[in-house]
Amino acid sequence: MPHRGEILIKTTITTLTMAPSLDQYVETDHLVEDAKTRCSVSAREPGGGGINVARNLHSLGETVLAIFPGGGGNGEAIERMLREESVPCRRIAIDQSTHQNLALTETASGRMFHLVFTGAALSEAQWRACQGAVLQACDSRGYLVLSGSLAPGVPDDFYGRLASEARQKGTRVVLDAAGPSLEPALASGVYLAKINPEELAQLGYTGDWQAESQLAFMEERVRAGAAQLLVVTRGDKGALMVTASGARLQASPPKVKVVNHLGAGDSFVSLMIHHLANGSSEAQALAYGVAAAAAAISSPGNRVPGRETVEALFAGVKVERTNLRH
């Protein structure tokens, strides 16, 4: 924290969402097979990993810039919604229309169905424009969040190349990605990477899924330079983290009633970045990430709820620490 009289330079957090979406939330009493299911729209929100993170961080008072490719009426709507929330953004215009995702809740049963569609394809000129916009925004004091899937037409090593270039400028890169883009990005080395057990297996893990076995594998990846902070989220079991500074951490969440799973991972990343950027310890930042995810799944929508909710759940997060093996 700054000393009295010290000038605090605000950290700029840039987020990139290569496959943004316009998220529509709808409700129906019962899903009906082979007949019309009458629905009502409860909300429409801009979506996509980086956009969700930017909205969360903006609400926490951080200086953010959300960069995303967007086309057609949906792309324009996402930009308009962000500006209405006063979230700084830059839309890279594309030819194809940005897709729309659907979150359908059957109120009689409480079941939610999240229908996700393939993102709009990008030309080389368009994805290079996104790359240029990001590198122009990055600086030595800031963070870059690479979050979500790559759009069709974008090369698998796009995040990896971008992470390398951003690191050369002194930017701390945060990765939350899956699929073919994950391994190249980790090969370039990032500051923080958040993955799930499925993605851990994608990286070659074949252990017994006990925490100790996962932590040992994560330690190998950290030592190889994949990330300074490597996190594996485990749903209702919380999260594991291995750090380059020499610790293994296991965070267990408080019990909550699950309302939906939308935005949990993005809320996790948002609170971790917020607390790391403001001087919290790695363990405390992890605990806040777990609390934020718990808050998100126990609330409607795709954003992290208010500070009071997160703080209340943070008090119930348990963090255990063990030293790295030599």
Catalytic center residues: 266
Q: Specify whether the backbone of 216 is left (phi greater than 0), alpha (psi in -120 to 50) or beta.
A: alpha
As a whole number of Å, the end-to-end CA separation of the chain is 32
Dihedral sign from CA coordinates of 254, 50, 66, 94: negative
CA distance 262 to 295: 11
Query: Alpha helix (H) ranges present in the chain?
Result: 49-59, 72-84, 124-137, 158-168, 182-188, 197-202, 211-223, 264-277, 282-297, 307-314
Count H helices and E strands in the chain, helices first: 10, 14
Residue found under tokens 């090969």: 187
CA-wise closest residue to 75 among 146, 151, 144 = 151
Q: Any idea of the CA torsion for 197, 201, 206, 211, to the nearest 10 degrees?
A: -20
